[in-house]
Amino acid sequence: MKVRIRPEDTAFSLYVRALADNKCEYCGGRASQIHHFHGRRKLSTRFDIDNVCPICFECHQMFHEHPNIQTEFWEKRLGSERYEQLNIRANMIKKMSKLDRVNLKNYYKEKIKELK
């Protein structure tokens, strides 16, 4: 089952990529996407800045094909304590209202404006 991409997802993705000057955190190429360590289905970490990184298409595919490389990258990127905390947050249950989603979209649009 595919998780629907909503306007707040798009705004969040643009913000995360803008923070990194649109560079892939793995290879340094052009980041055209963001990668979620814990999938977007988990609302508790869907918009968690520790759970995402800007990434190019090729590296994104590689992470999905080689989970061990992905795990090594995230452990190194976050450090052991933040990595463990992220895993704990990923297993929490969270629900999101329509108002929450609208607020997130607006929040990240404003953050993008601030970066420019």
Domain of residue 76: give its range: 14-95
How many folded domains does the chain comprise?
A: 1
| 8 Å CB contact between 82 and 45 | no
Digit-coded pLDDT (tens) for 16-48: 999 999 999 999 999 999 999 999 999 999 999
20 domain residue, yes or no: yes
pTM for this predicted structure: 0.85
Digit-coded pLDDT (tens) for 39-77: 999 999 999 999 999 999 999 999 999 999 999 999 999
Phi then psi dihedrals of residue 26, to 5 deg: -90, -50
33 domain residue, yes or no: yes
31 domain residue, yes or no: yes
The per-residue pLDDT of the chain, averaged, comes to 93
Structure tokens at 91: 């297993």
Instruction: Tell me what the mean pLDDT of segment 5-26 comes to.
Output: 95
Q: How far apart are CA 78 and CA 71, in angstroms?
A: 11
73 domain residue, yes or no: yes
